[in-house]
Chains A and B, each alone.
Chain A
Amino acid sequence: MSIFIDRSTRLVVQGITGRDGSFHAKQMAAYGTQVVAGVTPGKGGQTFETDDGGSVPIFNTVEEAVQNEGANTSVIYVPPAFAAGAIMEAADAGIEFIAAITEGIPVIDMTRTYAFVQDRGARLLGPNCPGAITPGVAKVGIIPGQITTPGPVGVVSRSGTLTYEAVNQLTEAGIGQTTCVGIGGDPIIGTDFIDTLQAFSDDPDTEAVVMIGEIGGTDEQEAARWVKENMEIPVVGFIAGQTAPPGRQMGHAGAIISGSAGTAEEKMRVFEENGIAVAKRPVDIRILIQEALGL
């Protein structure tokens, strides 16, 4: 089992002819994901060739991809100025799960976009996220497939490469993952920690969860309280940004300490208060998971 993506995932790649979109469409197809369609306005009727000789039809609209190929999941690589529109187009076409990889969508646009997506009943992951991967089954986004392996640990994170670091260490130690989910580093995101933790809780195969957060906002704190109330499986946490100065944006638009709120220290304390084992270094994530699983 897994969360969000599985064998029934039928993926449409929005922006499939762009630099990032074409590269990752090939990677996702090579991983075994059912890439059933691409969308680039003006290029409908063409096809996209994958590395293994497969041929993916390109449509002008997501609606056509849904009608003709039964797409139920979308991944978005279009440039920031058009990405909010692409998300709403996917939701309007009835796509159930939308992963927005694009970084740099104006936040004010996302406030309207996310409200629209919720009205349509779709699930949005991101934006500014690495997507999700169910090892051995399918990947939607940019997480390198080779660092993952199937197993019992769910991973949810606001970061990209830091997630790879943690997942890689788990894999090297022989501990596999059910699904790895990058929720994104922007202030306004769709699926959040609690949504993902809920999904892991409902997944019978997930036996423990790694939650990787960072400075800024209160999502981690709220998630920690939710964990204490609702989760039966162990959760291991890590927070990046202990050395970050207040008031400065650390790369991610959402990674900023405002006043005294959102510090790493505060988040780690709330984790501990709510029964989440806190890793002091990335390497300790693996060690704490091994302890939690009794390995």
Chain B
Amino acid sequence: MIEEKFDAIVVGAGMAGNAAALTLAQRGLKVLQLERGEYSGSKNVQGAILYADMLEKLIPDFREDAPLERHLVEQRFWMMDDRSHVGLHYRSDDFNEERPNRYTIIRAQFDKWFSSKVREAGATVLCETTVTELAQDAYGRVIGVRTDRHDGEVHADVVVLAEGVNGLLGTRADLRARPRPDNVALAVKEMHFLPRETIEARFNLKGDEGTVIEAAGTISRGMTGMGFIYANKECVSLGIGCLVSDFEKTGETPYGLLERFKRHPSVAPLIEGSEVKEYSAHLIPEGGYKAIPQLYGHGWVVVGDAAQLNNAIHREGSNLAMTSGRIAAEAIFQVKSRRDPMTKENLSLYKKMLDDSFVIKDLKKYKDMPQLMHIQSQNFFLTYPQLVSKAMQNFVRVDGTPKAEKEKTTLRSFVSARSWTGLFGDAFRFARAWR
């Protein structure tokens, strides 16, 4: 057993864990951070988009040395059927600003850098160490962790569980339930390397400008899911994810979906001739507000993906992770400064502070959206994309048919596919869930 006792142990070195460990160390607490990878970042997978605002709150001058890929000047949304896509693109020169708002990043590299800041702030970071269980006293209070190192029990006043979407500790100790198949998506991703100039030409970029594409439609074969294509400096991150419960139901394979997405006529030219250098997979919390577990207890708090904090509609996860990690650390610091014990009651401050932040406010706003998307997946991911594509083709194809007749054809295709009640019902349910 490590005799030394810590103020806090942080389990995991992803966005949430690093934000928590950094904040705690900056406030002068004695922090031990444990990570199972060979270095911080080597087990972490994300698209990935970094949101500057949340990182600035932790490291104001991060742009000076963080390994950033491209700052985003454009966002594309694609609604896809098998041969087409209908796009909504937003591009603005406003995003070519001194302190850009969003960047693409490569997580393994970024997290390694983030971890160096955690060390500089004074935390002890121990990699290649898997935490096997929480150490609890006779009353069930968390007093530390056990690891796979020899004599690996370590004690602390509080344990920050930043163990990720598939975290085992909290569920093994019955602090929260294992994620349900309908509350997590499985995403698979490949890294496609291409010369820098090729990426810039294909994506219409110059210098360090970047763009990201979020795609939905028949690519998910009627399942609730999305594809993504993110331009980095010298590679393109390309992936697709669907609910695990949908994979169970349909028997689709994740690599089959990925292959089909790559061969789509709108996608293939973007990655033609690339060299793939990695294939990864990861779960994404998709349950939203209703899936958030108990966030604190005696001697522990849970942050980031482990707490299901992910905004599936806006594709925001890492910023909710960073923010929840930082807020948990600030709450712990406040309790500590008052020389109060890390009881459940005192740590409820974390939940209060989180409730007041954008994290819970945003998740609450979309609380009905996950369910709507799951139940209506056939309509939202198959029927509508096909109808919209047909409507667009009808609109742009010039073949001598009078326009009034074309409009009637389009309208009839919508009504016959979904009926008037269905169309109004979908619009109403969608609006209500969005509100």
Binding between chains A and B: no
